[in-house]
Structure 1
Amino acid sequence: MRNLNLDPKYLLKRWGPPILLLLFFLAFVIWINQVDKTPLVSREGQTFEKAVVTEIIQDNLMPDGSRVGEQRIMVRMLTGPKEGEELETTSSSGYLFGAGCTVGMHVVVMQSIAGDTVINTVYTQDREMTIYIFAALYLVVLCLVGGKQGLKGALGLVFTFLCILFVYLPLVYRGYSPFWVAVFVCIITTLVTMYLIGGPTKKTVVATGGTVAGVVIAGFSATIFSIASGISGWNVSDIESLLTLWNVSGIQVGGLLFSGLLISSLGAVMDVAMSIGSSIGEIHAQNPTISRKELFKAGMHVGRDMMGTDSNTLILAFAGGSVSMLVLDYAYDLPYQQIINSNNIGIAIMQGLSGSFGIVLAVPVTVLLAVLLYTHEPAPASGKPLPELPEN
């Protein structure tokens, strides 16, 4: 028997339309990235170059292990106009900038050159390769443990990350609504990820529809919370910097908070939708005669088991991002009314609860969509049944 997966007609039917759509999407991405950025600060003559520490001229390490002031060190430049040269520079003792340098440490040097004058300072430890290695290890482990599905999941993850960089950011910078740009990105990434994992099946359609519905519900829940509580995207802690963007580039900074919520909740909602779609598909495949009512009840049982854990996952993720703020509030022993009514706490609560609304309400939407699709009988035409997507 001929292997269907190697049949040219099957391959063309399976991958032809997606590849064609991908080419159109790539052309769109290239077009939207043709944008001239308005410089916010002058960086003429300033570059960030790699270097390695060769000598500690004057250390700033105290007997108690703390660092005070600056280190004076010698570095050998690995990139830039001064590549290969030994230069004296400084490294501050700050936690955000600088590094506790040791001989042999690779660092990033902020370098300004004007004529014969060269000003250097250590910006931070060079951690670029560490990031690449850990990201690669994660993808390798995902592929080894998940097999073929793990590889597809890794491709979907990479595609999502690239969409945020090369679709979301350029469109927001062009002045489009961050909320609807986030919705667009969520739809595109969901379609691609679900198609990679599930192929052209009913399960993919169900999971995609449920994910998009859940994400949009999360966004509208946040909007309603914002109107009722008076919290908006203008209440974020870095609003001063964002106002500069608004004045210079026309970016709709007020919508960034809610668009970020959509992207943050995408993964959890996607997990719920795919799990429910897959479960209902399996139930229907094992018992094709099951009624819509019984199939809906079975799907809701599966969904209810997932609601609590996935909602907790999302709420704890947002809570984890606010731990530093909570510790400070606790240490200062701030009054309850001050804490509960602060903008930062309100934003964290809005993000956690709105995302959980999306997860919870995505369950009945996904179950209903799955029941309608799996139990749908295609109407005959010209004596022949209409083509139907496979269930799994």
Structure 2
Amino acid sequence: MERITGNVMAAIAAVLLVVFIGMLVWPMVPAPSAGQLQVHPAAASEQNTARGIVVAVLAQDAGAGEESGGRAYEKVLVRVTTGQRAGQEVIIEEGATAGTLAATPLVRQFRPGDEVYLQWTQGPQGEKVLITDYVRDKPLVIVVMSFVCAVVLIGWRKGLRSLVGTGLSVLVVFLLIVPQIIAGRDPLAVCIVGAIVIATASAYLTFGWNIRAHAASAGIVASLVITDLLASQFVDMTHLLGLGSEETGYLLANFGPGIDFRGLLMGGIIISALGVLVDVCISQTSAVFELASTDPDLSALELFQHGLNIGRDHISASVNTLVLAYAGTALPLFMLFALYEEPLIRRLSREPVSEEIVRSLAGSLGLVLAVPLTTLIAAGAAAWQVQRETGLQAKLLSLLQQRKHWQVGDLAQTLGQSDGPVEAALAELAERGYLKQIPGTCSGDCAHCELRLGCLVSFGGKAWSR
């Protein structure tokens, strides 16, 4: 049984390694030219934009009067700071008179010194310049650095590793997923590949290259496959086209009808659920292995039962987090549809609302199923590891009884192991009382060591006896 389980875990590790290498090589293979998306000519034209800084506010009306209709009005003087027009000063009107802002109380109120983005457009009355947005690079840097500092100060090494994982996730999204979709590849397949890269990297950054990471990665990959099948089935059942968001209109304008919007929707479900899914799978794996370490006598079935009890508590919190995250992003949409005087079932049947329902529930269902699946894989792996370590410890005790003194390298060579597992097994034997530390420090020179008469084995700079 031990040999079979070991072969299975070795096969899983090998498959994960091959898949990971394949995913790194796959983007290098050119996509079929017929599938590549063609940018719409209108979208490909050069945008006449630049950055500027507000020099002065020439006129300002908060919109309280009846003449303004409740809309604010503002006239500002802006100096262009980049591009061919750098150094020029332009007067820009916004609000009730200019008609560039909607009737909303949340109106931009510019102040001298504000950095803004400018855009020149051609209209019936000639060229016109507009303020399209604030320049937010400096505030965003402050926000990001605050997050980074908090994670590092509180999490230390683990926090730093989590930041590496977050950075890798961002790189995968923007350097792998998005370019490959634009290159014409299937959006769902690209998102699955990107999700596997992110998930496996997170597992190995958390645990290192060991049996825990293999088990967590296997659980994550299996859960992603199940979530993909559920998302595909639910999207087909509800006849969703993937056109329920405002962004799809911009994509249609830029790329035309060549994009697979249903594939984008299903791929988005995978990526959206990925963060919580990785968290649950890694937590379950860690919990099961800790149970096995605390009580090595637990069988794989008992580890599964105890781990599942822990996972049930995790499920309720994680599913609630996922549903609320989706509800928060779609809150303006829900408010909009609440205004329609129509039956509730009709509101729910509208594609934008149905998309959010399918998105949240497909991800949540995949998350729920990930708990028993990952717990099962982790329980089998942990039981195998305990059985393997117990066998190694028994062999070590047998060898220690046959000879007066051993060094770790000799033991490892005799057992056909590397030094690391042997030292770990010796440390476990010492913790369990089978070995006792001899006062003093091991010099490593056994021939001239004063402790050699009573020393049975030396490791970790210390000498040990029975």
The interval holding the TM-score normalised by the smaller chain is 0.7 to 0.9
Alignment of 1:109-258 (within 5 A): 109-111=118-120, 119-244=128-253, 247=256, 250-258=258-266
The aligned residue for residue 278 of structure 2 is 270
Larger mean CA deviation between 181-190 and 222-231 belongs to 222-231
The aligned residue for residue 15 of structure 1 is none
Letter in 1 for 2:356: A
Unaligned runs of 5+ in 1: 1-17
Alignment of 1:8-157 (within 5 A): 25=24, 38-41=39-42, 44=45, 46-63=47-64, 68=71, 71-91=74-94, 92-94=100-102, 99-111=108-120, 119-157=128-166
Larger mean CA deviation between 195-204 and 145-154 belongs to 195-204
Q: Percent identity between the aligned chains?
A: 23
Aligned residues: 365
Change (3 A) 1:53 1:30: farther
2:317 corresponds, among 299, 304, 309, to 309
CA distance in 2, matches of 1:338, 1:111: 43
The aligned residue for residue 357 of structure 1 is 365
Does the 8 Å contact 2:37/2:259 carry over to 1? Answer: no
CA distance in 2, matches of 1:325, 1:89: 32
1:69 is displaced (CA, Å) by: 7.0
1:42 is displaced (CA, Å) by: 5.1
Does the 8 Å contact 1:225/1:350 carry over to 2? Answer: yes
The runs of 4+ residues in structure 1 deviating greater than 6 Å are 29-32, 386-391
Letter in 1 for 2:339: A
Root mean square deviation, CA, Å: 3.5
What is the SS of the residue equivalent to 2:109? Answer: coil
The aligned residue for residue 5 of structure 1 is none
Change (3 A) 1:141 1:222: same
Larger mean CA deviation between 292-301 and 72-81 belongs to 72-81
1:296 is displaced (CA, Å) by: 0.8
Change (3 A) 1:309 1:267: same
Change (3 A) 1:386 1:370: farther
What is the SS of the residue equivalent to 2:129? Answer: strand
CA distance in 1, matches of 2:26, 2:261: 27
Does the 8 Å contact 1:182/1:259 carry over to 2? Answer: yes
Does the 8 Å contact 1:54/1:74 carry over to 2? Answer: yes
What is the SS of the residue equivalent to 2:42? Answer: coil
Larger radius of gyration: 2
Does the 8 Å contact 1:284/1:295 carry over to 2? Answer: yes
Does the 8 Å contact 1:322/1:348 carry over to 2? Answer: yes
Provide, for residues 62-112 of structure 1, a one-character-per-residue CA deviation record: whole Å limited to 9, x for no partner.
Answer: 2369873753321122222222332323343347x9943222222111146
Unaligned runs of 5+ in 2: 1-16, 95-99, 393-412, 426-466
Does the 8 Å contact 2:38/2:255 carry over to 1? Answer: no
The aligned residue for residue 6 of structure 1 is none
Does the 8 Å contact 1:176/1:252 carry over to 2? Answer: no
Change (3 A) 1:26 1:67: farther
Q: Does 1:368 align with 2:369?
A: no
TM-score, normalised on structure 1? 0.82
TM-score, normalised on structure 2? 0.69
Does the 8 Å contact 2:284/2:311 carry over to 1? Answer: yes
